[in-house]
Amino acid sequence: MMKKLLLTMLLTANLLSGAYAWDLWEDFRAVSMEGGRVVDYSDQRAVTTSEGQSYAMFFALVANDKQTFEDLLIWTEDNLAAGDIGKNYPAWLWGKEGDTWKIIDDNNAVDSDMWIAYCLLEAGRLWNKPEYTEKAHQMLALLRTQVRDIENLGKVLLPGRIGFETETEVKLNPSYYPLFLIKRFAVEDAYWNEVFEGSARMLIRSAPAGVSPDWVNFTKKGELVENMSIDNTIGSYNAIRVYLWAAMLSPKDPVYRQLKARFEPMVRLTEALNMPPEKVDVNTLAVNQPAWDGFGACLMELVGPGKTRDMIRTVLKSTPIKKENYYRNVLALYGLGFDEKLFAFDENGYLYFPKAAAK
């Protein structure tokens, strides 16, 4: 078993050096980055988020773009994490207020923290950079402090260190839990296997009608709270990523099949509109209108082969990267990159490159 794992790791590292050029990443880097930061130009403050930094680190990793990866890491550490990402959670929001560039909100976003830790683990492995691996281990230790063990639900990460927990409830964001990241963490520390199980259980229980909400509340007893706020009754700009991450989980994992079956109602809504709905009532499944193509990028894999996927793919490929479309752009990179087999995740969460392997 150990020999097989070592062989797989060596093969993956070799494949990365021959990875295909990723034109979409080059376009994104050209229009959306200033130095080592990703800029969201849709916000008049020209903000940078820890989310944007973490996503770009992943794209740079897939593209074997070592210099941009390093630039992103340095900028993130220096500007969002007080110089040490292993000791300090990166602030989620940085931008211009008045005449000053600064941290606007110093709360963290745990999904971004997870993506950064993952990218550091895989960059350390694939590029033989032990300093990245060490930073990742430090981040994992920091992340463990935000895990809560919820009775009848299991271990789950709070979305951020401030504002998501009371004496009786936790508030969670289902789109914050790409399960393949947690699988990879469990290779380093078996503790994360329980977090994987709790997170998978949360994803399924938070979508009883087959549509994920943007936010969900659970009691400390693990009961789903009937919260009628719009955050908890609508699935939209946050929740759309749930389907993207679910489709990227290895089909060898039994949870993949469970999630695919649970989200079949969202697949049917997408097929009816030829694009995912922008907003869905998670209780009644009432929809408002078809969303833009970035949402489509998140459902391509779950929808499967056919005219809906073909239409989404065509629209995505024919729409250029524009600097004011940050969120659409990153979803397109994930969706098309996965669809084109530029990257995938195995049952242990390791990153690999199917298209390069087929050369």
Annotated catalytic residues are 51, 111
Burial 292-329 (b: 16+ CB within 10 A, else e): bbbbbbbbbbbbeeeebbeebbebbeeeebeeebbbbb
Amino acid at 77: E
Which is nearest to 354 in space by CA: 15, 7, 6?
15
Amino acid at 231: D
Task: Name residue, tokens 């200033």.
Answer: 34
For residues 129 and 322, what is the distance between their CA atoms, to the nearest angstrom? 33
For residues 58 and 76, what is the distance between their CA atoms, to the nearest angstrom? 14
How many other CB atoms are there within 10 angstroms of residue 67's CB atom?
Answer: 9
For residues 243 and 214, what is the distance between their CA atoms, to the nearest angstrom? 12
For residues 300 and 317, what is the distance between their CA atoms, to the nearest angstrom? 13
User: Distances from the Cα of 148 to the Cαs of 38, 195, 204, 206, in angstroms?
Assistant: 31, 9, 18, 17
Q: How many residues does the chain have?
A: 359
The answer to whether 275 and 296 have CB atoms below 8 angstroms apart is: yes
For the chain, the distance separating the N- and C-terminal CA atoms, rounded to the nearest angstrom, is: 26
Amino acid at 306: G
User: Three-state SS string across 182-200, please?
Assistant: HHHHHHHCCHHHHHHHHHH
Amino acid at 56: A
Three-class SS of residue 311? helix
* Token representation of residue 224: 């789903």
